[in-house]
């Protein structure tokens, strides 16, 4: 499976290959989200001395845009929470970009082809 996108002169990718490509990009995005959640859990656990379950809850709520659940008591914890919130906001945009990129590429590629080229190629 190739991750490179087709060039304008190439035919549209077969549907099965496109679905595999999309699945790979979703897995990459899920890996990034998991990594980000672990970073948040470690930060809350270290800076605020929260138990792992509470650290998970706070990190997940920040990543979801809801804000922390527990009151922050240390200056380091407050700095971490603010930085993590900014990181999470940018991470959300990056994750959406990774997930949507194959779909948008396929649509743009389809609309810029000649009518005779619109059938997907076979692998």
Q: What is the pLDDT of residues 58-104, one digit of tens each?
A: 999 999 988 889 999 999 999 999 999 999 999 999 999 999 988 88
Q: Judge whether 101 and 25 are in contact, CB under 8 Å.
A: yes
Burial of residue 17, with CB atoms counted within 10 A of its CB: 0-12 exposed, 13-18 middle, 19 or more buried = middle
Q: Give me the pLDDT at residue 110, please.
A: 76
Q: What is the C-alpha to C-alpha distance for residues 54 and 27, in angstroms, rounded to an integer?
A: 26
- pLDDT class of 106 with cuts at 50, 70, 90: confident
**Whole-number Cα distances in Å, 13 to 17, 44, 67, 89:** 7, 44, 41, 33
Share of the chain above pLDDT 90, in %: 56
- pLDDT class of 113 with cuts at 50, 70, 90: low
- pLDDT class of 111 with cuts at 50, 70, 90: confident
Q: Give me the pLDDT at residue 7, please.
A: 73
Q: Give me the pLDDT at residue 119, please.
A: 57
Q: Give me the pLDDT at residue 2, please.
A: 57
- pLDDT class of 18 with cuts at 50, 70, 90: confident
CATH of 15-113, one of 2.40.128, 1.10.3470, 1.10.357, 1.10.287: 1.10.287
């Amino acid at each position: 499976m190739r991750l490179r996108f087709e060039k304008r002169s190439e035919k549209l990718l077969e549907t099965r290959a496109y679905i595999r490509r999309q699945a790979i990009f979703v897995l990459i995005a899920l890996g990034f989200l998991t990594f980000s959640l672990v970073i948040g859990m470690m930060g809350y656990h270290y800076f605020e001395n929260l138990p792992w379950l509470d650290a998970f809850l706070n990190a997940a709520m920040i990543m979801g845009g809801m804000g922390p659940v527990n009151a922050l008591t240390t200056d380091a914890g407050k700095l971490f929470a603010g930085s993590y919130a900014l990181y999470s906001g940018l991470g959300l945009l990056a994750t959406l970009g990774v997930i949507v990129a194959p779909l948008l590429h396929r649509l743009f590629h389809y609309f810029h082809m000649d009518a005779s080229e619109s059938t997907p190629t076979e692998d």
